[in-house]
Amino acid sequence: MKTNKLLNNKMCAIIGNEHEYNGLLPLTSNRPLSTLYFDCKYRIMDFALSSVVNANIKNVFMIMNEGRIKSIFDHLGGGREWGLDSIGSYQYTSFYQDILRRKAEGKTYFDDVIDYLQKSKATYTVFISNKILANVDLRAVLKIHQNQKNAITAVFKRVKREDIANDDQILELSENGAITDTKKFNDLSDKDDIYNLAMGFFIANTDWLINALYVGQNAGASTSIEEFLISELTKAKASAYEYTGYMSNIYNIKNYYKANMNMLDPEKFNSLLFSSQKVITRTKNEVATYFSATSEICLSQFATGCIIRGKIDHSLISRRSLVETGAIVKDSIIMGSANIGENAIIKYAILDKNVRVDPGVKIEGTTDKPVVIEKNKHITADVFGG
Amino acid sequence: MKNEMLAMILAGGQGSRLKKLTQNIAKPAVPFGGRYRIIDFTLSNCVNSGVRNIGVITQYQPLVLNNHIGNGASWGLDRLDSGVTILQPYSSKEGSKWFEGTAHAIYQNIDYIDSINPEYLLVLSGDHIYKMDYEDMLRVHKEKNAALTVAVIDVPWDEASRFGIMNTDENNRIIEFEEKPTEPKSNHASMGIYIFNWSRLREVLINGFTKNVPMVDFGKNVIPAYIQSGDNVFAYNFSGYWKDVGTIDSLWEANMEFIDDKGGLNIRDKSWRIYSKNPIAPPQFITQTATVNDSMVVDGCFVAGKVEHSILAANVQVKEGSTIKDSVIMPGASIGKNVKISRAIIGENAVIGANAEIDGTKEIAVVGNSEVIGVKTDED
């Protein structure tokens, strides 16, 4: 008989932030992947955090990279929008580099994580790697995890080869769905068309995890908790959960661009943002977006606070952007506070925050190689190519 | 600790002139400008003026209003040294405290005001669209050593007979007050914004009600009593955009003026922001079949039709083939296919079925909150 029924379903969460990709530069030169803009008003981290709070998890441990925290805290603030500022909610942060340093010094390096897990008094622990864009219902995953009576459950999705990064982990499954092997995508000798991509979402029994981390750090396990959990999938009693909703794996400019543009497909937009799981982001006080008498809009999305006087075609326009008369924005992503002058032409481009484009200037890339304009840049002459 | 100025927002009016729109919500809670509710302007003015203690007096249908204001976090009023308090009529040993007028509502809340113990009491209406610095008004109030300062705005002479008119002398002292005079002597209209020295007002109200000279209304009773008793009553001249949105026509007009800022409210000015409780909704989606011109659109909208000189508030849907012109669509309303809407206000969560026609050419058309017009098909 269980003695503490009340805590039976309690979960806590660890959100990692270890992935960094050169392919996303310059968008990630001053921010971690998790605070990249997505679809006019979101940041990548909103999806992980929303999954967590939608599952009524109030206890969150975030592993961050040193020197990369400004944009995270700027976005998170006091956590009010996610309900992380209310009674019974706890947020902890820790630096990944501390874990690395302690390992290099020959010390035990998962102490902070273990300490957090012990204090959480949660029966289950969720781990999210914080780079995948998906709307995962963690309570549904928990149900399956409980039914399987295993130590750990990994969430995966069947994904095409071109949507997988070299450092992504692939699950090999037997006919009855058991995990038989795991491999880094880069280490696979011959490549098929479809793979079981481990999405970096796990649910583990907390007691088991604490013990595994103890044993792991004494045996020199990977400092990356994600890699550590993957390595445990073939050692411990583990099962796999197939996610069937919308997912984007973001690791270079091309698939970042594609993931955003996918939101102009109403089916994908609805699947990710109008599911039963609300995606929460930071709210801002902005005026409604104003479309002037000269504006021409075709298949585009807008956040609030914009003034649109030009032509917008198949593009995403973030908060507080100004597009002047005669300007054309086509197949492009415009992040917040852009100022696009009269008759400027922008095609296949990604404008980071706060970019100013002078009147008449052309910025043109291609579908495969969108031009990226860095944050705060003032563009005074034409920019072509990618 | 003594708090210098406490604001009391009168938000209890039924707003019967807004007809269907206030059937189930208080007038100050009526949506405005796509992103706001009317009371946001007054609340934001308070915060921007450094007035951080606010009582909101409610009475009629307060549910939506209470929910909107909450603990005041949206306006930064949830700090330790500030607060917004919803004041609802209640019963006590002295009987029921239902409010019979503006001044009576203040009288019934003396206990609350005493608990804050302010030097000055700022009395505001919750149903005006404007930006105003109450701190500057307080400065003038102190400078003139006034017992009462009334904010006034100059209205066109031919409209003056619709307002409470303040007749002033060369020092801007109010020497006479006339409620809706047939032959106005001045065009200084009261904006329903007052600063009182609280100790004096407290005395006047208690005296009046205990001696059976009821001080029910500020306009009808209190201001004339102040003038008659020789108290220093001064006018404070305001000259910016100000709109009382108490009627369907004025609410529609104010929304239309808001679209391209013809009225000069300067809503995008960052130094005087208007705050609101912001819902979380995905970005607005404008499809290839849509045209949107001279209009304001907010998060969560899905637009496939034609929108011209109109405001679409959060989560509004406009299906293909529909035309919306010179209209205000309030949050959550759904407009089906091939609908024609012109010069109308469509209430929150209203549903307009396919092929419906709503024409406000003669008189602004109003569809109530959650009202269903025409037949809703599955496709809608």
Give the pLDDT of residue A87: 73
Rounded distance between C-alpha atoms, residue A211 and residue A315, angstroms: 49
CA B43 to chain centre: 9
User: CA B212 to CA B232: how far, in whole Å?
Assistant: 24
Out of B282, B284, B293, the one facing A289 most closely (by C-beta) is B284
* Nearest-CA distance B268 → chain A (Å): 7
Residue-range domains of chain A with CATH: 2-273 (3.90.550.10), 290-384 (2.160.10.10)
Q: Hey, of A80, A287, A335, which one would you mutate to test binding to chain B, going by the most B CBs within 10 A of its CB? A: A287
- Taking CA atoms, B347 is separated from A264, B25, B249, B257, B313, in Å, by 29, 11, 15, 19, 10
List, for residues A5-36, the tens digit of each pLDDT value: 555 789 999 999 778 899 999 999 989 999 99
**Cβ–Cβ < 8 Å for B346, B363:** no
Q: Which residues contact A45 (CB under 8 A, 6 or more apart)?
A: A15, A34, A35, A72, A75, A76, A130
| Nearest neighbour of B299 by CB, restricted to A269, A297, A304 | A304
pLDDT at position B279 is 84
Cβ of A291 under 8 Å from any chain B Cβ? Answer: yes
Paired tokens of B181? 């005079």
- The answer for B 54-93 residues in CB contact with A (under 8 A) is 73
Interface probe for B, chosen from A133, A289, A295 (most Cβ of B below 10 Å), is: A289
Q: Which residues of A touch B285 (CB under 8 A)?
A: 266, 269, 301
Establish whether this prediction's ipTM goes over 0.95: no
CB atoms within 10 A of CB A278: 14
Which pLDDT score is estimated for B89? 85
Tell me which residues of chain A have a pLDDT lower than 70: 1-7, 386
pLDDT at B377: 62
Which chain A residues are within 8 Å of B278, Cβ to Cβ? 283-285
Per-residue pLDDT tens for B64-92?
999 999 999 999 998 877 899 999 887 77
Option in A274, A285, A293 nearest B293 (CB): A293
Distance CA A178, CA A170 (A): 13
Whether residue A81 and residue B280 make contact (CB cut-off 8 A), yes or no, is yes
Q: Which residue of B has its CA nearest to A310?
A: B293
Q: Vertex A292, ends A289 and A297: CA angle to 5°?
A: 75
Give the model confidence (pLDDT) of B28-70 as tens digits: 999 999 999 999 999 999 999 999 999 999 988 889 999 999 9
For the residues of B330-364, what is the DSSP string, one character each?
-TT-EE-TT-EEESEEE-TT-EE-TT-EEE-SSS-
pLDDT confidence of residue A84: 83
**Nearest chain A CA: its distance from B358 CA (Å):** 23
What single string gives the DSSP state of each residue in A323-373?
E-TT-EEES-EE-TT-EE-TT-EEESEEE-TT-EE-TT-EEE--SSS-EEE
**pLDDT score at B111:** 94
- pLDDT of res. B379: 55
Query: Is residue B296 within 8 angstroms of chain A, CB to CB?
Result: yes
Nearest to B325 by CA among B335, B313, B314, B311: B311
Q: Which two tokens stand for residue A23?
A: 């392919």
Rounded to whole angstroms, the Cα distance separating A337 from A318 reads 7
